[in-house]
Each structure stands twice: as structure tokens, then as C-alpha cells.
Amino acid sequence: MNHEIFERDRQDILIIDCIPDNLQILSSFLTEKGYKVRQACNWSMVLTACQTVLPDLILLDIMLPEVDGYEICQRLKNWNLTADIPVIFLSSLDNVFDKVKAFQVGGVDYITKPFHFEEVLVRVENQLALKVARLKILQLNLDLEKKVKERTCQLEKALYKLQQEWNQRQQLQSKLLEIALHDSLTGLPNRVLFLKRLEQALKRIKLKPDYHFAVLFLDCDRFKLVNDSFGHLVGDELLVAIARRLEASLSPFDTLARFGGDEFTILLENIKDIRMATAVAENILQKLSLPFRLSRHEVFINASIGINWGNPNYEKPEYLLRDADIAMYRAKKAFGKARYHVFDPKMHQEVTELLELENDLRKAVERQEFVVYYQPIISLATGTIAGFEALVRWRHPVRGLVAPTSFISIAEETGLITPINTWVLKSACQILYILQNHPAIKDSVTMSVNISPRLFSQPDLIATIDEVIDDTKINPASLELEITESVLMENDENIKTILHELQKRKIKLVMDDFGTGYSSLSYLHSLPLNSLKIDKSFVKYMQKNKQIMGLVPAMIGIAHSMGMSVSAEGVETQQQLMQLKSLNCDFAQGYLFSPAVQQELVLDLLAEGTRW
Ligand code: C2E
Ligand code: MG
Ligand code: MG
């Protein structure tokens, strides 16, 4: 790059001409104008001059001996060093062709001899100014290029940084995704990921009929007990240990997920038939039955497993799981704990019906669709009605009168039993009040009301009963509450307290369905019970089965020895009645005497005064 041109104060002009006069005159004129002027009259002098110092401009005559002006110009243009030096032709040739040729060989201007000095000066100045401008542009270009390079470099760096940030973000994102799809405690896939995998399996089975899979829904039995007795930390430790055992029971192709709480789900893929799935379930149950040695405790846990065989008719993975869950509940209920059960579409129907029933039951409570029927209880000593048992029925808008056996257990599960039972108690007490105050009824009549086990966990049971007594103004001495063995067997201090509170109010307590539970006699003795009611199953088989035949008198004997009276329910035949009488049973109830009747008929039954 030719920087000198900006630094040199005097610009250097080389005049090439072979006529000394011309040279002299032009030279002195330009020198006078402030230029440094050198002269040459042939090619070899031009070479020497250029090699010494490169001129800023060349004034070149055409008519030269040996090498003419055109040729010199061409040589200068072909030579790297001199190619950029502007050449102005000076010639007496005024022909257009000469001028054209001069421009063709690289000349930038053409001055015709004889010339005017002023013209020469202007053209020289122009070309020099042009050259400076060109160099400046070149310099600017170079600067620009440099700047572009620097900027490119900066941009590349920024881009690199951006790329790195993006990579980090990408890593973070996949980490977040990983967290979102896994359970933090066990590290297993969670519900979301499991459902995704299940959805894929469902899609695959729709495309490939020879592909099979099964879903297992596992729920730990009584896990709450572990949490309650050892604390949540131990519970967590146990869950992790269970997860590891489950993993060890599966192949790497299966998906094991923690579905939530103590529930785990498994997707078994590439299996041939249901037996492979049940074999896995058996293996799991066997592995889980071994004790878990945790850091501070040894814990035993069982699980129930529901199995559902994947089939392409399912629309959503959730439905597949729902049915595995239904099967799991069946495993829990029907077979006791630590079992598996395979889903059968019939179960779905049952569950739907149950759900409908539950819904209807909710509405029934709101709309008060219940009625109480009353079944007489006969004193075997007098043969007359000693009291009534209040038995609830549901007046279903479509199904008609529904027996309590069809809805009491659901009412208990859903908690709806509390309002229902309280209402029954109140209704029965209203009838009792009428009986207690009726002028035609001389002997006192009792009223028995069944009390659900659920009510005993209600903190305000006693308050509710007090309120009913207050509201209906009955004499509580004629009120009998029937309690099943299961309540009493809880062996809870709280229940004992409640029973004693009831006793204080002179309310009688009857153990219902006696013989169907597992009462310990010594425990029974410690409770303030007034009466035992022998379950109808014993009455039914009393005459047919010798073993049972032996039990009934034993039950009556036990009750009497503990100072309790005995009643028998389900008495349907005269024979049964005779037998119970001969065994000194105190009371009896059954279709032989009367089924449960509507409240309007209670007074009629009493008025009839039948003696059995
Ligand atoms: P439970 O307390 O043992 O009532 C006796 C059941 O035996 C009644 O059935 C009654 O109608 C029936 N029964 C009476 N005589 C005979 C007979 O000669 N043969 C046969 N096979 N059965 C007879 P129900 O009314 O269907 O009640 C069934 C169970 O529902 C009751 O058994 C009781 O546990 C429960 N329950 C009924 N009403 C209420 C209530 O208001 N509250 C609560 N918690 N449970 C109730
Ligand atoms: Mg009863
Ligand atoms: Mg009973």
C-alpha cells in the first residue's frame, strides 16, 4: 500500500519525452508550481526512475525512439509496482484513433501538443487529486474491512456465547422435564410419564394386533399404619425400598411408576398371555412378603394388585388404569389382603351401578326419600309384643322400596349413614313417644334402633342422642340401641366411654347379629350390655345342623350368665318358636309374627293384642 503519497509534501511527476526543449519547459513550469519533477527520454530511464522512487504521475509522449509511448504505458500497467500510477499522454498526434489507443493501453488523459501550461496543470492536478481520492477510498475500504473483520469476530464470539447459553438452557430444560416426569422420592417415572407410555402402548396395539401388554395397579395394604406408627420418614424409606424390590421383579422393558402415595403401576410389554402377567404379580407379592429391614425398624407390608389386559377397544389410557384399579379393589376386598385380581368387564358394570347408587343416595338424603318400618319383637314369656325394631327403607323413585342391605354399606362408606341414621333415630323416637303416651297402651313398649359403627367415630354422637331425647321428649329407658359386634371389638376406650354415657341415660344396649363376629366373652363381660340378639343364621339352621343346634342354647346360657336377656331374630316357623321357648330365650322377632310394617300399622298391631 502506497502510504507515502499522503506523507510527501511535494508530489513526484515523471515526464517522458525525447525532445529536450519540451522536457525543459514543462519541467520548470511544474517545478515552479511546487511539484518535484524528474525526466526520462527512453524505457531504460523510465525503469531506473521508477525503481528509485515511484512517481505519483507520469506525463508520457507517444513518439519515442525504440519503445514508443503506447508500449511504455502498457509495460507500466503490466508491472505491479507501477500499474496504479496515472499516465497522461502528451502528443502532437491529434487523431481520434491515437487518443482511443492511448486510453486503451491504460492512459487516463490525453493532452495535445502544443499544449497550454494551464491546461496541463489542471489535468495534472485532476489526476493527482483523483489518485489521492482513489487511495483514500482504498484506505477507507481497508479500514472498513478491518472493522467488518473485528465486528465479525465480535459477532462470532457473541454467537458462541449464545450457543453455549442455549446449550445450558437446553440441558436445564431436559433436567426440568426429567423432574416433571419422575417421582422425587423413588426416582421412578411418575403418573404423567406412565400415562404417556400407556398411551403409546395403546396406540401400538391398535396398529399391531400381535402386540400385547398388561397393566398392573399395586396398592400397599395398611400403609397408613406404618406412617402412623413409625412416622413419615420411615414411611418414605419403606416406599423407596418397595420401589427397589419392584424394580428387581421386573424386566428392563417394563415401566414401573409411582402413581402416588403408596400406589405403584406397572406396564408389562411384549408378553404373550395373561398368565405371564399373573406370574409377575405372584412374584411381586412373594418378594414383598419378606420383611423390610429399614435403618431403624423391621417392617412387614403386603400389597394388593389389580391386573388389566391391554386391549385396543380402550379409548384412553386412563380407562385402562381405572379398570386395573377396580380389579385392585376387588383383590383387596374379595380375597383379603396380599392378593391379585384380573379385571373382568362385568366388574365395570358393578362399579358403575355402585356409583349410580351412591349418587342416588346423596340425592335421597337431600330429598328425604327414606321411610322407617317397624318390626314387632315378641316377649316369649307373655307371647305379646314387647317392642319394635326400627328398620329403614329407601323409597327409590324408580326402583321402589329398597331394602337396607342394598344401601347401608355404601352409606357407611360414603359417610351418608350419619344423616340417615340420625333421621331414623329421630323418627323412631317420635313413634316411641306416641306409644309411651297412648292411653290404650298399658305396658311399656321398647323401641330398638340400629346404630351404625360409623356413628361411633362421630365425636358428637352422645350430643345428638341427647338432642333427639330432648326434642321428642321420650323416656330413654325404653330406647334400645342395637350395635354390631364389630363396633365393640374395636376395644377402644372411647367406645367404652360412649356406652357408659348411654347407660347413664338408662338407654338399653343390644348386641345385634350375635355369633357372626368374633366376640371374646371376657371382653363382652366388661361392657354395659343389656341384651344379645342371636343372628338369624343360627335360628335358620337350628334344627338342621347339630353343631348349630348346640350353639344356640350355649349363647342363651352365656347371655343369662352375664345377666343379659336374649332375643332371636329371623323366627319363621312355629317349630323354631317352640324350640326357642324351650331354651328360655326371652324375645323373638321374625316373619312368623310379622314383617316390619309401616308406622301407621304399629298401633293396629298392638291393638290386635295377638298372643303367640
Ligand atoms: P338387623 O338389624 O339384623 O335387622 C334384622 C333384619 O332381618 C331386617 O332386615 C329384617 O327385616 C329381617 N328379618 C326380620 N324377620 C325376618 C325373618 O323372619 N326372616 C328373615 N330372613 N329376615 C327377617 P332389613 O330390614 O333388610 O335390615 C337389614 C339390616 O340393615 C339390619 O339388620 C341392620 O343391620 C341394617 N339396618 C336396617 N335399618 C337400619 C338403620 O336404620 N340404621 C342402621 N345403621 N342399620 C340399619
Ligand atoms: Mg338390628
Ligand atoms: Mg340382626
* Cβ of residue 391 lying under 6 Å from some atom of ligand 1: yes
Q: Is the preceding omega at residue 114 within 30 degrees of 0, hence cis?
A: yes
Rg (CA), the chain: 56
Parallel, antiparallel or unpaired: strands 213-221 and 587-589: unpaired
- Residue 432's beta-bridge partner residues? none
Span 90-103, mean pLDDT? Answer: 90
Nearest CA to ligand 1 atom 45: 450
Which of 28-42, 421-435, 481-495 has the lowest average pLDDT?
481-495
Question: Residue 391 C-alpha to ligand 1 middle, in angstroms?
Answer: 6
For ligand 1, whether the C-beta of 358 sits within 6 Å is no
Residue 511 CB partners (closer than 8 Å, separation 6+)? 482, 483, 484, 485, 488, 519, 524, 529, 531, 532, 533
184: left (phi over 0), alpha (psi -120 to 50) or beta: alpha
- Out of 465, 569, 576, mutate this one to test ligand 1's pocket (max ligand atoms within 8 Å of CB): namely 569
Cβ–ligand 1 distance for 405 under 6 Å, the answer: yes
Q: Which numeric CATH code is attached to 2-179? A: 3.40.50.2300
| Mean pLDDT score across all residues of the chain | 91
| Closest atom of ligand 1 relative to the 592 alpha carbon | 18
Residue 485 Cβ < 6 Å to ligand 1:
no
* Contact between 41 and 16 (Cβ < 8 Å): yes
Residues 6+ apart with CB under 8 A from 280: 216, 249, 250, 266, 268
Asked if the model's pLDDT at residue 337 lies above 60, the reply is no
pLDDT for 254-286, tens place per residue?
999 999 999 999 999 989 899 999 999 999 999
| Cβ of 106 below 6 Å from ligand 1 | no
The percentage of the chain sitting over the pLDDT mark of 70, rounded to a whole number, equals 95
Select from 97, 33, 114 the least CA-distant residue to 57: 33
Q: How many CB atoms lie within 10 A of CB 89?
A: 25
Selecting from 3.30.70.2700, 3.40.50.720, 3.90.1720.10, 3.30.70.270, what CATH number does the domain 191-343 have?
Answer: 3.30.70.270
Kindly list the distances between the CA atom of residue 22 and the CA atoms of 27, 52, 57, 69, 122, in Å, as whole numbers in the listed order: 8, 23, 17, 15, 18
Q: Give 88: exposed, middle or buried? Use CB within 10 Å, 0-12, 13-18, 19+.
A: buried
Q: Looking at ligand 1, which residue's alpha carbon is closest to its atom 33? A: 450
d(CA 117, CA 103): 22
Distance between Cα 366 and ligand 2 center (Å): 25
Question: CA-CA distance, 324 to 556, in Å (whole number)?
Answer: 47
Distance 568 CA to ligand 3 centre (A): 9
Q: State residue 519's pLDDT score.
A: 63
Output b/e per residue, 579-598; b: 16+ Cβ within 10 A.
bbeebebbbbbbebbbebbe
Cα separation of 433 and 435, whole Å? Answer: 5
310, 205 contact by CB (below 8 A): yes
CA torsion through residues 479, 480, 483, 487, sign: positive
Name residues whose C-beta falls within 8 Å of residue 365's C-beta, 6 or more positions apart in sequence: 416, 419, 420
The pLDDT-based confidence of 549 (bands split at 50, 70, 90) is confident
Q: Which amino acid belongs to residue 423?
A: W
pLDDT > 60? residue 5: no
Assess whether the C-beta atom of 403 lies below 6 angstroms from ligand 1.
yes
Please write the tens of the pLDDT for every residue from 516-541: 776 666 677 888 999 999 999 999 98
Cα of first residue to Cα of last residue in the chain, in angstroms, is 138
Instruction: Read off the pLDDT of residues 304-321 as tens digits, 9 standing for 90 and up.
Output: 999 999 989 999 999 999
Report the separation in Å between the CA atom of 384 and the middle of ligand 1, taken as the mean of its atom positions. 21
The minimum-distance atom of ligand 1 relative to the CA of 452 is 44
Residue whose C-alpha cell reads 344396649 in the numeric block = 509
pLDDT range class, residue 370, cuts 50, 70, 90: very high
Query: Using alpha carbons only, what angle is made at residue 159 by residues 156 and 161, rounded to the nearest 5 degrees?
Result: 110
450 alpha carbon to ligand 2 midpoint, in Å?
A: 5
Ligand 2 centroid from CA 504, angstroms: 22
Residue 7: the pLDDT is 46
Residue 539 near residue 587, CB atoms below 8 Å: no
The ligand 1 atom nearest the CA atom of 482: 2
37 is written with which cell numbers?
A: 519533477
Higher pLDDT, 551 or 546: 551
Q: Which of helix, strand or coil describes residue 146? A: helix
The model's pTM is 0.59
Nearest Cα residue to atom 35 of ligand 1: 404
Pocket test for ligand 1, best of 372, 391, 402 (most atoms within 8 A of CB): 391
Ligand 1 geometric centre to CA of 589 (Å) = 11
- Helices 69-78 and 43-52 cross at an angle (nearest 10°) of 30
- The 10s digit of each residue's pLDDT in 153-175 is 999 999 999 999 999 999 988 88
* Domain edges within the chain: 2-179, 191-343, 370-607
Handedness of CA 293, 295, 298, 300 (dihedral sign): negative
The reply to whether ligand 1 has any atom less than 6 angstroms from the CB of 428 is no
**What's the average model confidence in pLDDT over 207-232?**
90
Q: Is the CB of 450 under 6 A from ligand 1?
A: yes
Q: List the grid coordinates of 96.
A: 481520434
Do 25 and 120 meet the contact criterion of CB atoms below 8 Å apart?
Answer: no
Q: How far is Cα of residue 32 from the mean position of the Cα atoms in its chain?
A: 97
Tell me if 375 CB under 6 Å of ligand 1. yes
Instruction: Kindly tell me if the per-residue pLDDT of 334 is higher than 70.
Output: no
The CATH class that applies to domain 370-607 reads: alpha beta
User: Per-residue DSSP letters for 328-357?
Assistant: HHHHHHHT-SS-EEE--HHHHHHHHHHHHH
